[in-house]
Amino acid sequence: MSLVLELNSHHLRFGKGGDVKPEILFSSHYGTKRRATGSPLKRKRTSNGEFTFGTPPNLLAKHNDLDIKSIFQHNQVREWQAVEAIFEHLLCSSSRMKTTTTTTTTAPPKAPLLLVEPLRSDRRQQQHMVEILFEKCAIPAMGSVKCTSAGVFANGRTSALALDMGHSFTSVVPVKDGFTDESKLFRTELAGAVMTEATLELLRANVASRHGHSNVFNEALGTNDFQSQSQRLYGALEVASQWKEHFCSCTPVRIAPSSSSSSSSSSSSSSSSSSSSSSSSSSSFSSPALFTLPDGTQITSSAESGTIVSELLFDPNLENFFDAAGIKQPTKFTGHLMNNISRMESVGKILFQSLTQFDADTKRAMWENIVLFGGTSTAVGMADRVRRELIPLLPGKATVKIIETKVDDRAISSWIGGSIVASTLDFESNLCLTKSKYEEDGLDRALMLQEMFQ
């Protein structure tokens, strides 16, 4: 048996090699206890060390008086103690992996570990990961694979143009013979986090329209005044993420700003959700659906709202977004929306820019072999919309082919690809760095000889 651990900016996934889905899902955020007086942060030792973790991810929103932070910032680790605590918790409880609410003190696992790592993970971070896993967790051997290579493997290929639509970034990068060429990486911050934050603005406007003011927004989203500001925001974004996953879809073509005003009145009264559970990607909208907020309030949702949110990936214009939603643009934003997203490259543009790097024959092979995966790719109609964005930029006879797995697998494709690698017969013998080799050659030389993290 081998183990598989995927690291990314939104979730950490853990399970056994050869399985079709991970058994443990961790939020990539952690909580630390605050003093009741609101004085500077004081960490409190819990069952997981100094930190409180979310498994399932919404668990962090149910505690009071925690400061919530992300382990990662731009795919770089910002809190190594939290990473170490998670590693020790997962690897020491792997013998009973379905029990996620308690910490066990069993012996370290005897199985090798495959690490599915994010793009642009610097060398220092990689070295620190290896040190923790060998020194603190005492694993016998470990290997690694880039998330984009693993995503391509999950789609039955070893070479393709990977389009990874994740939480923090949408990335386009070629994968050849199983290796990701990061020197040809293009990416944009127009990704899942932008959609979640835009959804939160729709929910905020909807609650305000129902009550005449936004003072009850925290209550409606299940947060309270005893929680820290970061925890209230985390809880609100978790609710917005649930709405996004249920209702966001893509129209086949761009939503014209001039035509959006006609739908403003209907969007204003129901500006919190959309229903696009249909399997087609046509531009016709289905009947309204309901979304239940944590306080029990049911919001009637127009099917158009979800397409307005998804449109930001292809037309990052906040004025058009708020105009189409029929709500007033706020004067203050948080998170990604604080930045001028109109300056960010759209998904279609980075895909085209990536293709311009190749000669004519390679370019043709790439646009006929685009593998789509990642949590944001699960929006209904996403593949068709990406195809339609790209076709006008290519030669007239170009045939764009986008490969995608079933929707339930698309969000966890990188973990599934890692599971496939970890289940191969030669994984431990040919693809792993053993602890004995690490101790014999030293960290730098051992990594160089093993060609890990390439």
Read out DSSP for 71-136? Answer: SEETTEES-HHHHHHHHHHHHHSGGGTT--SS---PPPP-S-EEEEE-TT--HHHHHHHHHIIIII
Look at strands 186-188 and 170-176 and give their pairing: antiparallel
| Planar angle of CA 92, 94, 98, nearest 5 degrees | 125
Tokens of 306: 């979800």
Each residue's pLDDT tens digit in the chain (454 positions)? 899 999 988 889 999 999 999 998 888 888 887 654 443 333 333 434 467 776 655 666 666 678 888 888 877 888 888 888 888 888 875 443 333 344 444 445 678 999 999 999 888 888 899 999 998 888 999 999 999 999 999 999 999 999 999 999 999 999 999 999 999 999 999 999 999 999 999 988 888 777 655 557 777 777 777 778 888 888 889 999 999 998 999 998 887 664 444 333 333 333 333 333 333 333 344 556 888 888 888 887 766 888 999 999 999 998 899 998 888 877 667 677 777 788 899 999 999 999 999 999 999 999 999 999 999 999 999 999 999 999 999 988 889 999 999 999 999 999 999 999 999 988 988 889 899 988 888 887 777 656 665 5
What does the pLDDT read at residue 138? 86
Chain centroid to CA 269: how far? 30
What does the pLDDT read at residue 374? 96
What does the pLDDT read at residue 293? 87
What does the pLDDT read at residue 312? 95
Asked whether the CA dihedral 136, 138, 143, 148 is positive or negative, the reply is negative
Chain centroid to CA 387: how far? 22
What does the pLDDT read at residue 213? 56
Count how many residues are written for the chain: 454
